[in-house]
Amino acid sequence: MNDKNARIELRVTQSEKKKIARLAESCGLSQSEYIRQRTLGYAPRTVQPDVFFDFYQTLFRLCDEVVDKISPETERRLLETVDEIQRQLLLPEKSSVKQIREEVATWQPPASGPSKDG
């Protein structure tokens, strides 16, 4: 059941809209889902080319084939490497609140009006 019934309207420039559309498409997401993930602190990953998934499947098959032929330490390191590939290339990255604030600060022009000092 889809309980998403709240709506947020957002105004952007034409160039910002094009950039959002391009980034969302590169991640295989709708613009709404892309903005939702970014707003909630996630950095969606771009969709990997098919050759990557062929490689990834081959790597898993190799892991299965060698599991009985390698030391427990080598097996552990191999599985850690596979997990790291997944984490770095497939899973969205979650930013901390501090990282989000720092990123947003770079988007905003300096506030106009009186300074804090005067």
Alpha-carbon gap, residue 24 to 18, rounded angstroms: 10
**1-54: per-residue pLDDT in tens?**
568 788 888 899 999 999 999 999 998 899 999 999 888 888 888 888 778 888
For residues 56 and 85, state if they share a domain: yes
Task: Give the domain range for residue 34.
Answer: 13-48+93-106
Does the residue 75 lie in any domain? yes
For residues 27 and 84, state if they share a domain: no
Alpha-carbon gap, residue 31 to 103, rounded angstroms: 20
pLDDT greater than 50 at residue 104: yes
DSSP 4-20: ----------HHHHHHH
For residues 27 and 55, state if they share a domain: no
Check: CB of residue 45 under 8 Å from CB of residue 90: yes
Nearest to 62 by CA among 50, 79, 49: 79
Does the residue 37 lie in any domain? yes
Query: Scanning the structure block, which residue is given the tokens 């600060």?
Result: 105
Does the residue 25 lie in any domain? yes
Quote the pLDDT of residue 49.
76
**53-89: per-residue pLDDT in tens?**
888 888 888 888 887 888 888 888 888 888 888 877 7
For the chain, the domain total comes to 2
